[in-house]
């Protein structure tokens, strides 16, 4: 068969590769990001309740009104943002779908899309399939901040979209309000749009809160903001996300969304809407919950030889390992998984041109016992 791949350089995602390797070798899986603790029991009960009640047929294409209204209420509560539930909020089957659809609704043949490396792995294939080209800008070494001068010089007449992600996977870096001002300055009076991936919005550990793109008046009209309930409710497998954008952008977004998934699992939408309404405190509790896990993990990992700057957000922690191994990061995580019994993610795979410093990413969304056991295995291995 003459099968010319549309994604010749794409293999299986690193998350699938590492989780599979962890399972094959019985390793503790700190690679792919997902919690090993349960979703809130009340949320499970609600899921069952709504399924039993008969909420099992196609919901509206853009999501049930109850959930869109609760998302609007959440945006007002957390960020003081006014978003119209009917014309500006679309429920999607996870953030992955929302990212794919946002890209396909605005990126055309020959358009350029700026991404920051290390970049989450779903961005580039979506751009390629849309006929666009990604322009990669590395985040600054050390603190993984954005070099706005580099962005200015990378912008061209063909630039259509800039994709940002804060809190950032895999580095845990968090953008500041001044970053949003820089971005607004760059896109002012241009056709450039912004796609902001904010799936870790409720996992920020410093005193400063998450800065949603949608809270910046100058960026609001030119941006898609994407988030997901998978992270907030310890339910990554439920795949319910959403996109917030101006009515004009939302119209284009929905034209694509209706032919990708059309809509999203009905009883889960009801359960999440009900839970969001009755437990608004959940979003505020999450940072302390994950900060305690990050701190425990850092403490348990002390003295093994990894160098770790505490993550500012997400449930990921980067670790430099130059002191304990000279292997490249892909070989190193293979060794960790197969020999030490702990799986991690190599960071170089998220770069167009990987930097010199070798890093791996650990997911600390695990029970305290699991984190302690993983650190114990690594300690014994490197002793
Ligand atoms: N963006 C980033 C940065 C992520 O880390 C993830 C998944 N963990 C997603 C998007 C996808 O989210 P979802 O599972 O809701 O599709
Ligand atoms: N986003 C998750 C991570 O970074 C994985 C999601 C996936 O497997 N597609 O680990």
Q: What is the pLDDT of residues 65-123, one digit of tens each?
A: 999 999 999 999 999 999 999 999 999 999 999 999 999 999 999 999 999 999 999 99
Model pLDDT, residue 53? 98
| Residues 15-51: tens digit of each pLDDT | 999 999 999 999 999 999 999 999 999 999 999 999 9
Determine the topology of domain 14-32+282-382 in CATH: 3.90.1150
Would the CB of 169 count as within 6 Å of ligand 2? yes
Structure tokens at 163: 């994709």
Cα of 156 vs centre of ligand 2, distance in Å, is: 31
Ligand nearest the Cα of residue 347 is: 2
Cα of 15 vs centre of ligand 1, distance in Å, is: 11
Model pLDDT, residue 185? 97
Task: Tell whether the model's pLDDT for residue 208 goes beyond 90.
Answer: no
**Whether the Cβ atoms of residue 223 and residue 193 lie closer than 8 Å to each other:** yes
Mean pLDDT of 308-327: 97
Would the CB of 169 count as within 6 Å of ligand 1? yes
The CA-atom distances, in angstroms, between 5 and each of 182, 216, 263 are 38, 40, 28
**Residue of 90, 95, 144, 233 best suited for mutating to test ligand 1, as the one with most atoms within 8 Å of CB:** 95
Confidence of residue 257 (pLDDT cuts 50, 70, 90): very high
Would the CB of 91 count as within 6 Å of ligand 1? no
Nearest CA to ligand 2 atom 1: 33
The percentage of residues in the chain with a pLDDT greater than 70, rounded to a whole number, is 100
**Where do the domains of the chain lie?**
14-32+282-382, 41-279
Would the CB of 15 count as within 6 Å of ligand 2? yes
The percentage of residues in the chain with a pLDDT greater than 90, rounded to a whole number, is 97
Model pLDDT, residue 207? 81
| Residues 325-353: tens digit of each pLDDT | 999 999 999 999 999 999 999 999 999 99
Q: Which CATH architecture has domain 41-279?
A: 3-Layer(aba) Sandwich (3.40)
Mean pLDDT of 274-281: 96
Q: Tell me, yes or no, if the pTM score tops 0.75.
A: yes
Q: What is the Cα–Cα distance from 184 to 33, expressed in whole angstroms?
A: 31
Task: Tell whether the model's pLDDT for residue 138 goes beyond 90.
Answer: yes
The CA-atom distances, in angstroms, between 102 and each of 22, 123, 352, 376 are 33, 11, 22, 43
Cα of 106 vs centre of ligand 2, distance in Å, is: 24
Would the CB of 198 count as within 6 Å of ligand 1? no
Name 90's Cβ contacts closer than 8 Å, sequence gap at least 6: 62, 63, 68, 98, 242, 243, 245, 250, 253, 254, 257
Cα of 32 vs centre of ligand 2, distance in Å, is: 5
Model pLDDT, residue 174? 97
Cα of 120 vs centre of ligand 2, distance in Å, is: 9
């Amino acid at each position: 068969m003459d099968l010319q791949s549309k994604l010749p350089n794409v293999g299986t995602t690193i998350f699938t590769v590492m989780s599979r390797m962890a399972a094959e070798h019985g390793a503790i899986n700190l690679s792919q990001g997902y919690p090993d603790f349960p979703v809130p029991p009340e949320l499970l009960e609600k899921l069952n309740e709504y399924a039993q009640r008969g909420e099992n047929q196609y919901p509206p294409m853009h999501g049930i009104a109850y959930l869109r209204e609760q998302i609007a209420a959440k945006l007002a509560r957390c960020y003081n943002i006014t978003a119209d539930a009917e014309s500006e909020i679309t429920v999607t089957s996870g953030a992955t779908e929302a990212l794919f659809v946002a890209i396909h609704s605005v990126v055309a043949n020959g358009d350029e899309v700026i991404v920051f490396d290390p970049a989450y792995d779903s961005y580039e294939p979506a751009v390629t399939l849309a006929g666009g080209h990604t322009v990669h800008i590395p985040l600054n070494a050390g603190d993984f901040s954005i070099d706005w001068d580099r962005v200015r010089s990378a912008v061209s007449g063909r630039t259509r979209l800039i994709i940002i992600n804060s809190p950032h996977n895999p580095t845990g870096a968090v953008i500041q309000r001044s970053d949003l001002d820089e971005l607004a300055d760059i896109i002012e009076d241009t056709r450039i749009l912004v796609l902001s991936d904010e799936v870790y919005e409720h996992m920020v550990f410093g005193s400063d809160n998450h800065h949603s793109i949608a809270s910046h008046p100058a960026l609001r009209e030119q941006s898609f903001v994407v988030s997901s309930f998978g992270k907030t409710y310890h339910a990554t497998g439920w795949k319910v996300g959403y996109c917030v954008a101006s009515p004009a952008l939302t119209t284009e977004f929905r034209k694509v969304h209706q032919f990708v998934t059309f809509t999203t699992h009905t009883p889960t939408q009801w359960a999440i809407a009900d839970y969001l309404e009755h437990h608004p405190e959940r979003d505020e509790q999450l940072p302390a919950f994950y900060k305690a896990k990050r701190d425990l993990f850092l403490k348990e990992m002390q003295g093994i030889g990894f160098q770790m700057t505490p993550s500012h957000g997400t449930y990921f922690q980067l670790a430099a390992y130059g002191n304990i191994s000279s292997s490249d990061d892909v070989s190193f995580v293979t060794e960790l998984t197969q020999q030490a019994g702990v799986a991690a993610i190599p960071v170089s795979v998220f770069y167009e041109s990987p930097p010199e410093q070798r890093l791996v990413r650990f997911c600390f969304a695990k029970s305290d016992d699991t984190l302690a056991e993983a650190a114990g295995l690594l300690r014994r291995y490197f002793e």
